[in-house]
Amino acid sequence: MTSEIQKFEWKAFLDKLSRDAADWESRVLVMNDREGVQILSEGLPFNGVTLDEKGGKTVVELLIGSGTENHQTHNIKEPVKVAF
């Protein structure tokens, strides 16, 4: 079951997720109306997720992989919701 996280809880939730799920195998999916669901990465270790709010803009940064060859950073600008 997926639950939506309230916006005022995002930072604390993402900080806890970063600690609790460190090094777990991950899969990153993106969705849009034009292309549907796409897999960006699969099987790489989860390194963490951060939330940054500057000037009224919210950015979530997802850190995946290890080493220089497999490291990926995904930025989500102005996220609408967080669910887990």
Q: Model confidence over 38-53: pLDDT tens digits? A: 999 999 999 999 999 9
Could you state, in order of their start, the residue ranges of all structural domains in the chain? Answer: 7-83
Q: State the average pLDDT over residues 2-21.
A: 96
Tell me which amino acid residue 78 is.
E
What is the token pair recorded at 17? 């997720």
CA distance 72 to 79: 19
Q: State the average pLDDT over residues 14-31.
A: 94
Helix (H) or strand (E) holding 42: strand 36-54
CA distance 47 to 78: 21
Nearest of 31, 59, 30, 61 to residue 46 by alpha carbon: 61
Residue 11: its pLDDT value, please? 96
Q: Is the pLDDT of residue 30 over 90?
A: no
Residue 67: its pLDDT value, please? 81
Partners of 39 in the beta sheet?
Answer: 29
